[in-house]
Amino acid sequence: MSRMLHKFRGTLVGALVGDCLGSHYEGVPYILPWREVTDYTLTKIKDKKEPIPYTDDTAMTRAICKSLTEQKKYDNRSMAQEFVEEFFREPHRGYGAAVGTVFKRLQDENPEDITLPARCQFDGQGSYGNGAAMRISPVALLNARKNALITHAHINGVIGAILQAEAVFKALLLEPPNLDTDKFIDQLIEVAEKLEKDKEASSEKKEDSGHSGIPSHPNKTVSYVKKIKEMKELLSKGDALEPKTVVETFGNGIRAEEAVPAAIFSFLHKGKVSFDESINYAISLGGDTDTIASMAGAISGAYWGVNEVPELWKSKCEGVEEAIEFANKIYELHEQR
């Protein structure tokens, strides 16, 4: 089997197991002791009889896979339809509190411009939640910005999704043990700088004309570039690095500007050791553990490939077979391009 197919499977299975395992701790307001996390993910789950359920992170990822593989191309209207169908089929997968409004409006109004409901969220600011980034791995090769805009109009929600997709894409092109973290970071900084320059430009234009048509109410104090730059310094501390410092630097909350840097950092810090370390580390940061672990898992799975995902996790998490099936189909599409 081709190495790239292993990596595609690793991406989707990695995102899935991160979500399932991380959901056990979602919302804990503190950093988890390493032992507690590994006790759970490597020992306690052995006794589970029922599959560990996936949450909204995976439900939305699967909707993207379904659309991509049925349409055999990227189609934003079909994506929106799949999100809506999936949400109303199983609304209790732990979705963010506000995003249901977008799905309801998409269903009731079927607007010409499918990004309209998302642009009305939060008094016209759009959501800065991490919900666009958490699902983005299948479109890492295709069109992250377009997909984000269905539900997340706030520029920080969109940039987070694009950076997460970039990180997955870069990891697909690397072969363990080759991971030059400085280079990885420099390339991400380049992307983030461009996105943040565009964000500045669109906000200036908005101030000029009063309406730019581009959904952005940028919070100028937030900088992904600044956070990504800080990763080098933190990585240089090696094992002496305190998780507390990591959480103080990036945050661990539901904002994309927190969860995405935390996930990328978990991969860079522990992904070199093994797939499982990056997942356990992402969970140990606390906060939005399912989403941070899912995003770290997508990047780490893209790097390692599916064989490095522990058998225990693959046997205990709900939906692994479907994730592999979707990866096979997306790989076929990829090969036909």
Q: Minimum CB separation from ligand 8NA for residue 292, in Å? A: 8
Distance CA 334, CA 267 (A): 25
Task: Based on the shown chain and the rule CB under 6 A, indicate whether residue 222 belongs to the binding site for ligand 8NA.
Answer: no
Are 246 and 265 contacting, i.e. CB atoms less than 8 angstroms apart? yes
Residue 162 Cα distances to 131, 133, 141, 166, angstroms: 12, 7, 11, 6
Positions 247 through 286 that interact with ligand 8NA (CB under 6 A) = 254
Task: Based on the shown chain and the rule CB under 6 A, indicate whether residue 156 belongs to the binding site for ligand 8NA.
Answer: no
Task: Based on the shown chain and the rule CB under 5 A, indicate whether residue 291 belongs to the binding site for Mg ion.
Answer: yes
- List Cβ neighbours of 150 (8 Å cut-off, separation of 6 or more): 76, 79, 80, 83, 102, 114, 115, 118, 132
Judged by CB under 5 A, how many residues of this single chain contact Mg ion? Answer: 7
129 binds, among ligand 8NA, Mg ion, none (CB under 5 to 8 A by kind): ligand 8NA
Task: Based on the shown chain and the rule CB under 6 A, indicate whether residue 91 belongs to the binding site for ligand 8NA.
Answer: no
Q: Which amino acid is at 115?
A: T
Distance CA 185, CA 111 (A): 39
Candidate residues 31, 76, 122, 322; the one interacting with ligand 8NA per rule CB under 6 A: 122
Alpha helices by DSSP H, 173-223: 181-209
Candidate residues 8, 87, 128, 313; the one interacting with ligand 8NA per rule CB under 6 A: 128
Q: Which candidate, 150, 82, 143, 148, places its Cα nearest to that of 116? A: 150
Alpha helices by DSSP H, the chain: 3-22, 34-38, 56-71, 76-89, 99-109, 116-124, 144-148, 155-172, 181-209, 224-235, 243-250, 256-270, 275-284, 289-304, 311-316, 320-336
Candidate residues 14, 15, 54, 56; the one interacting with ligand 8NA per rule CB under 6 A: 56
Task: Name the 3-class secondary structure at 60.
Answer: helix
Task: Based on the shown chain and the rule CB under 6 A, indicate whether residue 296 belongs to the binding site for ligand 8NA.
Answer: no
122 binds, among Mg ion, ligand 8NA, none (CB under 5 to 8 A by kind): ligand 8NA
Q: Minimum CB separation from ligand 8NA for residue 335, in Å? A: 32
Q: Site mask, Mg ion, residues 52-81, x = CB under 5 A?
A: ---xxx------------------------
- List of residues contacting ligand 8NA (CB under 6 A): 26-27, 55-57, 94-99, 122, 125, 127-131, 134, 154, 254, 288, 290-291
- List of residues contacting Mg ion (CB under 5 A): 55-57, 94, 288, 290-291
